[in-house]
C-alpha cells in the first residue's frame, strides 16, 4: 500500500457524516468553502489544491457589511426621524404644549425607538446563540477525529491530555457564554433602555455598567485560564510523545530481524499519513471557524456602529435621554461582539495547539 492509498483508507474511515456541519451555510459561505462535500475539500487540503483566497474573504466581509448595513438603514432612519419629530415638538412646547404633553411625547419617542432597536437586538442575540451552537457542534464533530488520529500516530499522551480539555471548553466556556454571559448582556441591554424610558437613568445606568464589567471579568478570566492550561499541557505532552515514537521506531528497526528496516519504513508511512490527515482536518476546522464566526462578528459590529452613530446624530437635536440610551445599547452590542470574537479566537488557539502538539518528529 502506497502513501496515497493509505490516505484514502483513512479518509474512507472518516465517512461523510461531517457534511452536516455545512448545513447552515449560505451560498456565499458554501462557495468559499469549496462548494463541495466535506471530504472532497479535505482531499484538496491534503493534496495542496485547496487555497482560501484572501481577496475572496475580503469580498465576503464587504458583502456582509453591505447586507447588514442595508438591513439596518431602516432602523437608523426611523430612529433619527423619531428624534427629529421629538425635537420639533419640543420647540413648540413652550407655546402650545403643556409639560405633561411634553413628557408623554418624550416617553412615546423613547418607547418607539426601543421597539425598533429591540427587534434588531433580539435577532442579534439569537444569531449569537446559533453561532455558538454551530461552533460547539464543529468542535464535538471534528476534535474526536483529530485526537483519534493523533493517538494513532504516536501522540497518545497528547490526545489523552486534550480529550478532557476539549470537553471543558465545549461544556465549560461555551456553556458559560451561552447560559451566563449572553443573559447578562441581554440584561445590560434592557437596563440601559428601561432607565431612559422611565426617566430615571441614574437608577439603572450603574447596573448596566456593572453587568458589562461582570461579563468582561468572567470571560477574560475563563479565556486566560483555558489558554494557559492548553498551552502548557500541549507542550509537555508533545515532548513525551516524541520520545516514545522515536524509541518505538528504533526498537523496530534494530531488534526485528530481517524485515526490521521495512517495518520501520512502514511505520513512517503510518505516522506521516495520519499526521497529514490530522493537520488537514485542523486546517479545514479553521476554515469552518472563519466562515461561521465572521458573519456574526460583522453584523454585530455594524449594528453597534449604527447605534452609536444614531446616538451621535440625535444628541445635537436635544434628546439627550434617547442619545444616552442608544449609546449604552451600542456599548453592550460592542461587548457582545468582543465575546463572540474571543470564543472564536479560543477555538482558533485550540486548533493550532492540537495541530502543532501532535506532530511527532520522525
Contact (CB, 8 A) for 176 and 189: no
In tens digits, the chain (362 residues) has pLDDT values of: 556 676 777 777 776 677 788 877 888 888 888 767 788 888 888 877 777 777 788 888 888 888 888 778 888 888 888 777 777 766 655 545 555 655 666 677 777 778 888 888 888 899 999 999 888 888 888 888 887 777 766 666 666 666 666 777 777 788 888 888 999 999 888 887 776 665 554 556 778 888 888 999 988 888 887 777 766 665 655 555 554 445 544 454 454 444 444 444 444 555 666 677 788 888 888 888 988 999 999 999 998 888 888 888 888 877 777 788 888 888 889 999 999 998 888 888 888 877 776 655 44
pLDDT of residue 90: 63
The Cα–Cα gap between 127 and 361 comes to: 43
Scanning the structure block, which residue is given the C-alpha cell 479553521? 286
Query: Three cell numbers at 249?
Result: 521506531
The Cα–Cα gap between 287 and 281 comes to: 10
Domain assignment present for residue 288? The answer is yes
The Cα–Cα gap between 214 and 142 comes to: 32
Domain assignment present for residue 74? The answer is no
Query: Nearest 10 degrees: CA dihedral of 52, 53, 54, 60?
Result: -90
The Cα–Cα gap between 208 and 203 comes to: 10
Contact (CB, 8 A) for 177 and 38: no
Q: Taking the alpha carbons of 271, 272, 277, 279 in that order, is the dihedral positive or negative?
A: positive
The Cα–Cα gap between 362 and 357 comes to: 14
Domain assignment present for residue 324? The answer is yes
Domain assignment present for residue 42? The answer is no
The Cα–Cα gap between 242 and 248 comes to: 10
How many domains in the chain? 1
pLDDT of residue 101: 59
Domain assignment present for residue 297? The answer is yes
Domain assignment present for residue 213? The answer is yes
Query: Three cell numbers at 271?
Result: 505516522
pLDDT of residue 89: 67
Q: Show Cβ contacts of residue 298 under 8 Å, excluding neighbours closer than 6 positions.
A: 61, 64, 65, 68
Q: Show Cβ contacts of residue 220 under 8 Å, excluding neighbours closer than 6 positions.
A: none
pLDDT of residue 263: 43
Query: Three cell numbers at 127?
Result: 444569531
Enclosing domain of residue 238? 121-357
Query: Three cell numbers at 230?
Result: 492548553
Domain assignment present for residue 221? The answer is yes
The Cα–Cα gap between 158 and 142 comes to: 16
Q: Show Cβ contacts of residue 358 under 8 Å, excluding neighbours closer than 6 positions.
A: 146, 149, 150, 153, 155, 158, 159, 238, 241, 275, 278
Domain assignment present for residue 346? The answer is yes
Amino acid at each position: 500500500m502506497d502513501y496515497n492509498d493509505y490516505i484514502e483508507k483513512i479518509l474512507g474511515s472518516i465517512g461523510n457524516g461531517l457534511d452536516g456541519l455545512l448545513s447552515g451555510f449560505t451560498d456565499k459561505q458554501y462557495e468559499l468553502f469549496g462548494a463541495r462535500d466535506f471530504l472532497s475539500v479535505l482531499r484538496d487540503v491534503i493534496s495542496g489544491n485547496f487555497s482560501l483566497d484572501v481577496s475572496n474573504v475580503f469580498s465576503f466581509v464587504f458583502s456582509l457589511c453591505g447586507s447588514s448595513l442595508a438591513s439596518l438603514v431602516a432602523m437608523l432612519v426611523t430612529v433619527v426621524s423619531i428624534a427629529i419629530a421629538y425635537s420639533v415638538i419640543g420647540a413648540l412646547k413652550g407655546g402650545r404644549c403643556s409639560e405633561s404633553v411634553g413628557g408623554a411625547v418624550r416617553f412615546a419617542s423613547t418607547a418607539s425607538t426601543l421597539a425598533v432597536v429591540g427587534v434588531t437586538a433580539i435577532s442579534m442575540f439569537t444569531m449569537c446563540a446559533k453561532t455558538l451552537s454551530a461552533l460547539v457542534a464543529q468542535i464535538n464533530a471534528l476534535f474526536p477525529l483529530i485526537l483519534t488520529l493523533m493517538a494513532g500516530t504516536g501522540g497518545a499522551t497528547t490526545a489523552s491530555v486534550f480529550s478532557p480539555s476539549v470537553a471543558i471548553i465545549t461544556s465549560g466556556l461555551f456553556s458559560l457564554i451561552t447560559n451566563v454571559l449572553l443573559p447578562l448582556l441581554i440584561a445590560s441591554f434592557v437596563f440601559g433602555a428601561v432607565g431612559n424610558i422611565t426617566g430615571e437613568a441614574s437608577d439603572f445606568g450603574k447596573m448596566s455598567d456593572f453587568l458589562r464589567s461582570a461579563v468582561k471579568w468572567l470571560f477574560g478570566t475563563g479565556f486566560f485560564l483555558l489558554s494557559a492550561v492548553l498551552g502548557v499541557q500541549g507542550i509537555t505532552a508533545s515532548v513525551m510523545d516524541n520520545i516514545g515514537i522515536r524509541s518505538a521506531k528504533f526498537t523496530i528497526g534494530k531488534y526485528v530481524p530481517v524485515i526490521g528496516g521495512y517495518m520501520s519504513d512502514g511505520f513512517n508511512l503510518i505516522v506521516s499519513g495520519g499526521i497529514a490527515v490530522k493537520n488537514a482536518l485542523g486546517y479545514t476546522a479553521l476554515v469552518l471557524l472563519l466562515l461561521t464566526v465572521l458573519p456574526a462578528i460583522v453584523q454585530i459590529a455594524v449594528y453597534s456602529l449604527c447605534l452609536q452613530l444614531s446616538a451621535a446624530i440625535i444628541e445635537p437635536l436635544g434628546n439627550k435621554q434617547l442619545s444616552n440610551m442608544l449609546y449604552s445599547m451600542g456599548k453592550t452590542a460592542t461587548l457582545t461582539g468582543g465575546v463572540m470574537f474571543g470564543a472564536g479566537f479560543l477555538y482558533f488557539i485550540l486548533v493550532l495547539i492540537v495541530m502543532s502538539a501532535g506532530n511527532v518528529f520522525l
